[in-house]
Amino acid sequence: MLIATLAQAQISNTGNAKAGEKIYLKCRSCHVLDQPTNKMGPHLMNLMGRKAGNIEGFEYSAAMKAAGEDGLTWDEDSLKTFLSSPKTMIPNTSMRFWGLWENQIDDLLAYLREKQQD
């Protein structure tokens, strides 16, 4: 828990969590935020600092598994890149989402930071 708290302290505090909650509505049909339950996408609990493609019980695309094996770890920078255009960052990912604008990503990340602290 201390490591997660220290990691959170190093993350910038940009974005509007209230606006990010509305943006998360686009995500929740595929991702669960507050339980280790996988849907069409993997759950997002303890996302920051997590190696890509490694939630047990979720069937990732070969591309996402390879990205994790090659060292991709989810942090603010990698999520900003991925959420702006998932298929550009990881070609052949099975995530069916075109991406968000930069300000939307900042707001979504602010919301995720807030929820991860709960």
- Domains defined along the chain, listed by start: 17-117 (1.10.760.10)
Nearest to 68 by CA among 89, 84, 45: 89
CA–CA dist 86, 98 (Å, integer):
7
CA–CA dist 26, 44 (Å, integer):
14
**pLDDT tens digits in sequence order for the chain, 118 residues long:** 333 433 443 445 689 999 999 999 999 999 999 999 999 999 999 999 999 999 999 999 999 999 999 999 999 999 999 999 999 999 999 998 989 999 999 999 999 999 987 6
**Which pLDDT score is estimated for 101?**
96
Cβ-based neighbours of 70, under 8 Å, separated by 6 or more: none
pTM: 0.84
Q: Which two tokens stand for residue 97?
A: 């989402």
**Which pLDDT score is estimated for 13?**
61
